[in-house]
Amino acid sequence: MTRKTTIAALLAAGTALAPAMVPAQAADPAAEVDYSGTLTILTKFGMQRLQPYFTDLAAQYEEMHPDVSIELIQEDDDSIKGKTSTLVASNSIPDIFFSWTGTWGGNFVRGNRAADLTAVIGPDTDWGRTFAPAAVDAFVYNGRNYGIPLYLDAKFMGYSKPIFDAAGVGVPATFGELLSACDAIKAAGYLPVSFGNKEPWAGLHYLGQLLAYNVPRDVLEADFDPATATYDDPGYAAALEQFAAFEDRCTIGPDVNGVSYQTAIQQLSDGKSAMYYQEIIEFDSAARPDTALTADQFGFFALPAPADAAGDPMALEGAPEGYMISSASDNIPLAIDFMKFATSPGHARTLSAPPYGQPSAVVGGGDPETMNPSVVAGLDDIAEASYLVPWLDTVNHPRVAAAWLSEFQGFAGGTSSAEDVMEAVRKAAASVAN
């Protein structure tokens, strides 16, 4: 998906999620499940490595219930945005569909597109108590539950231990030390950080973490809401300056806009780069038995905070991700039953272990004996984080997100200044507020 179509998808989602043709329904925990008919499911498991998870779930469920047919629409991390907006625009939302938290999920709620699941997955329900409380709470809007968390996610810098050893560097404790490590790695003949910003959300992940370090949390969260946004904190400029220094000293520079995020992670896997900024759900794909970088050679650390951070140095960028049920579904009880099946402890442990490596949001949904040790350790870091700052392109209103995506990609490419970025974001927020 190109930059223009990515932005168009976000804008389309914001406009197409107008009130649905049917009023939102509330799930009834006492409703009898009709095990017949077809369930359509839109997943974010379109990558070849991930596709079998939902394919196997569907096959097992159909075997248990022969009168049920499951149709899967499997998209990846980037194509899911365009596919979702297309389905919304055509009023063809699947019975079960993937959603991020924040404003992305809130759009479905405001448009009456998502079923109210409070009675079946609220914190006081039997099903709700099987999940990590924070994961369930992430899908609460206006005091009601609308989402089913599937896995936990956060962003870390993955690195090659052999390249670090060859360059004589250790894990950096501050952002300044990271820049110095990049200098040493480059001098040793390696690419310090592989970075692909062809899909512009990749760059925003860097900025989101830097903003959490440079802008106080209360200010940042106020700016997430166009009604209270000002974007005048000096931390925004500081974060942009830090990113510019990072891009200059650690990456190939403005040409990152021509590199895909898939190519970037492959460069780490192939031993061509020392680091790649990735989600915990990518750990298992970064170092596999068939890659040059092996699992025991893979390490990770949180992107380190600047020494003089004015924000929260213990914040970590990330959020649980999960699924919603269409309020227009003809068989909401069946959709709920399938998701209970999908989030059972056994399936949760399968999801958490290789080759999937998606740490389940289910309590006890991961067995350290079968999981990648790096994923287990990453979950500990997530648990210790003081604040999980959401993804900038999903927590913001679609118009604001589109401004971030477009202007920050221009900033990374050297065609926009820091003030250009912030002015575009301010204008977008003002247009929504007015």
- Convert the pLDDT of each residue in 50-61 to its tens digit: 999 999 999 999
Give the pLDDT band of residue 326 (cuts 50, 70, 90): very high
Q: What mean pLDDT comes out for the span 300-311? A: 95
Percent of the chain with pLDDT over 90: 88
> What are the distances in angstroms from CA 214 to CA 78, 250, 304, 411?
28, 20, 12, 18
Give the pLDDT band of residue 109 (cuts 50, 70, 90): very high
- Is the distance from CB of 189 to CB of 195 less than 8 angstroms? no
Token code pair at residue 257: 């806009």
Q: Please say if the pLDDT value at position 78 is more than 90.
A: no
Quote the pLDDT of residue 177: 98
Quote the pLDDT of residue 138: 92
Give the pLDDT band of residue 433 (cuts 50, 70, 90): confident
Percent of the chain with pLDDT over 70: 94
Name which of 24-28, 70-74, 402-406 the model is least confident about.
24-28
Quote the pLDDT of residue 150: 97
Token code pair at residue 405: 């995506």
Three-state DSSP class for residue 404? helix
Q: Residue count of the chain, please give it.
A: 434
Give the bridge partners for 324, in sequence order.
97
Backbone angles phi, psi at 192, to 5 degrees: -60, -55
Tell me the CATH class for 3-153+319-365: alpha beta
Give the span between the Cα atoms of 108 and 181, in whole angstroms: 44
List, for residues 193-213, the tens digit of each pLDDT value. 999 999 999 999 999 999 999
> What are the distances in angstroms from CA 157 to CA 69, 288, 304?
41, 17, 9
Q: Please say if the pLDDT value at position 297 is more than 80.
A: yes
Give the span between the Cα atoms of 40 and 73, in whole angstroms: 8
Burial 327-348 (b: 16+ CB within 10 A, else e): bbbebbbbbbbbbbebbeeebb
Mean pLDDT taken over the chain: 92
Q: What is the dihedral of CA 341, 343, 345, 347, to 10 degrees?
A: 80
> Does the domain formed by 155-317+393-433 have CATH 3.40.190.10?
yes
Q: Please say if the pLDDT value at position 268 is more than 60.
A: yes
Query: How many CB atoms are located within 10 Å of the residue 369 CB?
Result: 8
Burial of 430 per CB tally in 10 Å (0-12, 13-18, 19+): middle
Q: Please say if the pLDDT value at position 7 is more than 80.
A: no
Half-sphere exposure of 206 (CA within 13 A, CB side): 29
Q: Please say if the pLDDT value at position 12 is more than 50.
A: no
Q: What mean pLDDT comes out for the span 211-239? A: 97
pTM flag (> 0.85): yes
Three-state DSSP class for residue 6? helix
Handedness of CA 198, 385, 268, 188 (dihedral sign): positive
Quote the pLDDT of residue 77: 86
Give the span between the Cα atoms of 263 and 276, in whole angstroms: 11
Quote the pLDDT of residue 14: 40
Half-sphere exposure of 283 (CA within 13 A, CB side): 31
Quote the pLDDT of residue 383: 85
Query: How many CB atoms are located within 10 Å of the residue 176 CB?
Result: 15
Give the span between the Cα atoms of 173 and 301, in whole angstroms: 9
Q: Do domains 3-153+319-365 and 155-317+393-433 have the same CATH topology?
A: yes
- The single-letter code of the amino acid at 260 is S
Q: Measuring CA to CA, which residue among 1, 316, 24, 48 is closest to residue 141? A: 24
**For the chain, what are the domain ranges?**
3-153+319-365, 155-317+393-433
- Better-scored residue on pLDDT, 134 or 99: 99
Give the span between the Cα atoms of 388 and 35, in whole angstroms: 39
Q: Measuring CA to CA, which residue among 148, 142, 192 is closest to residue 166? A: 192
Q: What mean pLDDT comes out for the span 374-392? A: 92
Q: Please say if the pLDDT value at position 3 is more than 80.
A: no
Three-state DSSP class for residue 64? helix
- Is the distance from CB of 66 to CB of 365 less than 8 angstroms? no
- Is the distance from CB of 418 to CB of 425 less than 8 angstroms? no
Token code pair at residue 364: 């006890």
Q: What mean pLDDT comes out for the span 361-366? A: 91
